[in-house]
Amino acid sequence: MFRWMDPKVYVIMIKPYVHVIAALCLWVFALTLLATEQASSIMINIDRVHTYSLNKAPGTYDQNGARSTIQSYFASNWLPADDQGCMALTNWTGNATCTAKRNGLVTTTRSALNCDIYRSPGCNCVNQILKGIANDTNPNPLLPNTFTGSFATIGRNMTGQSATVLLNLESCHYLFHSVYLAGESGSTLVRRAALLFLITTMVAFNALFYVLFHGVWMHWSAMSRSTLALIGPLFVFITALATESATINLVLYIMFPPLVILALYEYFAHTSPHEPFLHPFFFAEILPALVTLAMVENSVIDYDNLTFEIFKAHAISFAYMGIVWFNMNFRAQEHNKKDMLLYTRRPQQV
């Protein structure tokens, strides 16, 4: 019987190489898919996923400079002289200057608070306050607070009410509910094929890394191992940046934190020949990418949720590294009962 046909020899000598070959086949498939997709604008558009964020409308009075915009406009268009002039009028028909002034106060305030686009109890409060200055809301009770686009020229005497109006506007988002509406989070994109390419690359490099370094800890320095471990992520990063620069935010969130795990593992946990097949660094690269792909495939594309789950995956990765470190050192002390006591105590195991 050939020596390699012995089951024990097969497990030790051949099985790791089977893992490498299988992982490389998956990687070639993902690379081919990405290259094929890149050559077709239709496939790219199908594969792209736009992320969204929930925007509060109106938000806080300070959001996006609303406070400064509104106060500045009021200060320059509601002068002390206006208290006895334009703002004292209850009918400004035919007074073009007063019409522009009062209408401008309303439209500028709405725009600063996004109440010219969105509807919410908070924005309804804003519109009710602004009615006293100039009113263009629909009087139909079935469609309250609907803009007609045509301001009335009959209103209230607002003499001395500038400070009160500003205070009331600021109170609206405290007293009434806002709405949360989905809006694209800038130009951030997710590419499914790119995530699949990232995952398969890390799987392939992990298998290759294990075959190259398993059992030869002392033959390679931590610097050499770390440098070689970074080749895969660097290739993925360059590829992602070249194919779709708009994915860079999420790619950085996925790929950058594991560098800390690589440094900790290679420089501080590198004390035992009992190395796990799944290297903590590659685990930390694969898990958040897999979580992101799973969320996108299930139509969870809220940017805040995606980033939260990515960093939660990183927290799990740090826990995995700690467990690996503990078990590596525990197994390294199997023949040293005195040192082994340290790892068998309950506080250390917990």
DSSP assignment of 72-127 equals HHHHHHS-HHHHTTGGG-SB-TT-HHHHHHHHHHHHHHHHHTTTTT---HHHHHHH
Report the pLDDT value the prediction gives residue 2, as an integer from 0 to 100: 44
For the stretch 245-253, contacts whose Cβ atoms lie closer than 8 Å and that sit 24 or more positions apart, written own/partner, are: 246/187, 246/188, 246/189, 247/188, 247/189, 247/190, 247/191, 247/194, 249/188, 250/51, 250/188, 250/190, 250/292, 250/306, 250/307, 250/310, 251/194, 251/198, 253/288, 253/307, 253/310, 253/311
Pair 4, 14: CB distance under 8 Å = yes
CA-to-CA distance for 132 and 141, rounded, in angstroms?
Answer: 18
* Helices assigned H by DSSP within the chain: 7-9, 15-38, 41-47, 66-77, 80-83, 96-112, 121-130, 162-175, 192-213, 222-229, 231-243, 248-255, 258-268, 280-297, 303-332, 337-344, 346-349
Report the pLDDT value the prediction gives residue 286, as an integer from 0 to 100: 95
Low-confidence ranges of the chain (pLDDT < 50): 1-4, 218, 348, 350
pLDDT tens digits, one per residue of 6-37:
555 555 567 777 888 899 999 999 999 999 98
Report the pLDDT value the prediction gives residue 141, as an integer from 0 to 100: 60
CA-to-CA distance for 252 and 237, rounded, in angstroms?
Answer: 8
Report the pLDDT value the prediction gives residue 264, as an integer from 0 to 100: 86
> pTM higher than 0.75, yes or no?
no
Other Cβ atoms closer than 10 A to 248 = 15
Report the pLDDT value the prediction gives residue 181, as an integer from 0 to 100: 72
Report the pLDDT value the prediction gives residue 165, as an integer from 0 to 100: 93
Pair 26, 205: CB distance under 8 Å = no
Report the pLDDT value the prediction gives residue 1, as an integer from 0 to 100: 44
Q: How many residues in the chain?
A: 350
Other Cβ atoms closer than 10 A to 256 = 12
Other Cβ atoms closer than 10 A to 15 = 10
Peptide bond into 58 cis (omega under 30): yes
For CA atoms 70, 76, 81, 82, the dihedral sign is: negative
